[in-house]
Amino acid sequence: MELAVNLAKRSHCIKAQVGAVLTKETRIISIGYNGPPAGTHNCDEEFPEVGCPRDSKGSCSLALHAEQNAILYAAKNGSAIEGATIYVTLSPCIACARIIFSMKISRVVYLHSYAEYKGIGSDEGVDFLTKFGVDVERYIPTAGFLLQEQSQPIQTPLVGERVA
């Protein structure tokens, strides 16, 4: 989960930063964080004060969710996803839950509640996954867990970049 928390810091979203780690048999098979598709633009660069335009449900109209990015990257690279576990910093929304189920991911571990974040009555994604037999659990941090909340994205250098 610490890796997912650190991945979330790579997101350029000014509304929420979410990270995901997809594992199988004790190995990391993919990682992801929320953001626009490769080849487009980062929302904090084009819309620095307000973020990208919202869709009809009030969500980002451009970004892929962290779970989607992790799953797409794994599939693109031919990784076997069935039976995997995904660790995510925010419980899956209903759309991500449907993808998780369809990809036969068997376990989801989340840190924060999507329902609490969105101010809605229930975690629809968690409810969906549980109903259809996916093992879902909320991660409870233990002593020594490094959780760093931030309101603004942290700009971290890419491999090979120099920090001024």
Is 67 among the residues known to form the active site?
yes
- Pick the catalytic residue from 67, 116, 124, 161: 67
Which residues are paired to 28 by β-bridges? 23
pLDDT for 97: 97
More confident residue, 54 or 83: 83
More confident residue, 155 or 32: 32
pLDDT for 62: 75
Residue 99 parent element (H or E): helix 94-102
Please give the mean pLDDT across all residues of the chain. Answer: 84
Residue-wise pLDDT tens digits, 109-153 = 999 998 898 888 999 999 999 999 999 999 998 877 665 554 443
Closest to 104 measured CA to CA, from 148, 69, 135 = 135
pLDDT for 52: 72
Residue 91 burial by CB count (10 A; 0-12/13-18/19+): exposed, middle or buried? buried
Q: Is 19 helix (H, G, I), strand (E, B) or coil?
A: strand
Residue whose token pair is 């229930």:
122
pTM reported for the whole predicted model? 0.82
